[in-house]
Amino acid sequence: MTIDDVRATAERWLEAEPDDDIRDELQALIDGDPAELAERFADRLQFGTAGLRAAVGAGPLRMNRLVVQQAAAGLAQYLLDTDPLAHRRGVVIGFDARRKSDLFASDTARVMAAAGIPTRLFDQRVATPVLAWSITHLDAAAGVVVTASHNPPADNGYKVYLGDGAQIVPPHDVGISARIAAVDPTSVLMAAADDSLISSVGDDLVDAYLAAIPAVRRRPDVPGVPVAYTAMHGVGGDTLVRAFEAAGLEPPHVVAEQFEPDGTFPTVSFPNPEEPGAMDLLMQVARDVGAHVAIANDPDADRLGAAIPQPDGSWRRLGGDEIGWLFADYLLALDSGADRLVVTTLVSSALLGKMAAHHGVQSTETFTGFKWIARAVLDRPELRFVLGYEQALGYLVAQRPLDKDGISAAVLFAEIAAVAAADGRTLQQWLDDIAARYGRHVLADAAVRMSPVEAAAKVAALRADPPALIGGRGVVAVEEYPEADLLRFELEGGVRVQIRPSGTEPKVKLYGEAVDEDPTPFVAALAELLG
């Protein structure tokens, strides 16, 4: 487009934009540097299996009401094209505490109603697992939650589930994206906010979700132990506290400064339990109250972080795989057999497969992303699902929702801490015992920043001409997973290193695992091969 074309498009967006703050931002872009305006309108946010996610701002490459209305219109058309009962089953819509989340959710409901699709719109901020759980509970055609999960404060996002209760996978993402592309974002048809096709839901669905929580416990006879908890300024706090009560656990000791929803995240620079420092306030509360375990949700409560006390009185944040190992060791001892299934991802630890084999349980690895774990469960209906997890703090320990659930996982992890105490051991001693039985699995990861194009090219070059040595250790096998854009190298001595371009950030991600040795040098050596 010429700059005149860009300016004309921006003027149409300005005329259609309903929010004063975004209008002011867009007007400043129009009045300012033409190159900056052209860059903002050079493309549009691409809808993928993770939906949409970007900073809130003006133009088609940011999250704003016009972008959301366009996405909702495309989704509505896709549902009408693919589900003959969509106009009866409807869509359930939730939102978190981030900037404009409530407006994005309301606009989605109004677009759906204009298309003749009934919607159930939450009248309160809701944790993502509750929204995901509600889809199959209501037999809805789809679910939408407006959230950017653990992204930086400036971001917002738009996550879509279809009627099976799982996040979308190909080809649905392509189909929805194509219909979004056919919609003019400046002229989307919207019903009135009080349209008869828009109904309000809230406490009824939260209560129904909580009524299912006690079934998560395997040993309800074991009394609870002191637990520290942070909601990390997210929307899961009240629901988690009520979940503990429903499950017969004593109330957790909460981090008061982080309990109320606040989309600005004033006490953390990055609201992700994986980030260094994000759980510092939590661990201080845990020390103060003598907790046996400290647990954290991310802002939309679909992830679970944890920290445990050490013999010297300090606290240590657990890696995502360590939490998964504790879940697996506990659950597989209670529920094993050849008709059971556990699922993890390619970049998570190989230890889950060893545990499953020991207990005679079937296991499988999937592509990165919890949507693939859900797909593995749906594709094996003849098996009884036990556990699904990914190393990025995502855990599923119940039959529903078919997505990671940091609330039900927190309940079960609190029970695991209680069972450990009843057995006279700490969670660290439990992890040490797992290492004694299966070998001490040591994990390492790294990232090398580069453009997405360069990242893809570097990984492709390694795939075309794989090295014979990595870190002085011979490469004994090379496995390709093209659907995940992942390359795995098995080295002498049982070391495993993996590499893939990030799907969401400008970087290459590297993962290493070894038994009874540190894989960090091999991860570093693989990074050096990127040049």
Residues noted as catalytic: 149
Question: Residue 35: how many CB atoms within 10 A of its CB?
Answer: 10
Question: Residue 381: how many CB atoms within 10 A of its CB?
Answer: 8
140, 90 in Cβ contact below 8 A? yes
What is the identity of the amino acid at 469?
Answer: L
Rounded to 5 degrees, what are φ and ψ at 475?
Answer: -85, 120
Q: Give Cβ neighbours of residue 46 (< 8 Å, ≥ 6 apart).
A: 177
Exposure class string for 247-277: b at 16+ Cβ within 10 A, else e: bbbeebbbbeebbebbbebebbeebbbbeee
Sheet containing 91-95: which strands, arranged edge to edge?
Answer: 52-55, 155-162, 142-146, 91-95, 119-122, 198-201
Give me 8's structure tokens: 């004309």
Give me 351's structure tokens: 């230890």
What gap in Å lies between CA 143 and CA 375, rounded to an integer?
Answer: 17
What gap in Å lies between CA 79 and CA 368, rounded to an integer?
Answer: 26
Helix 427-438 and helix 351-359, axial crossing angle in degrees, nearest 10: 80
Question: Within its chain, how far is the Cα of 469 from the centroid?
Answer: 35
What gap in Å lies between CA 269 and CA 319, rounded to an integer?
Answer: 20
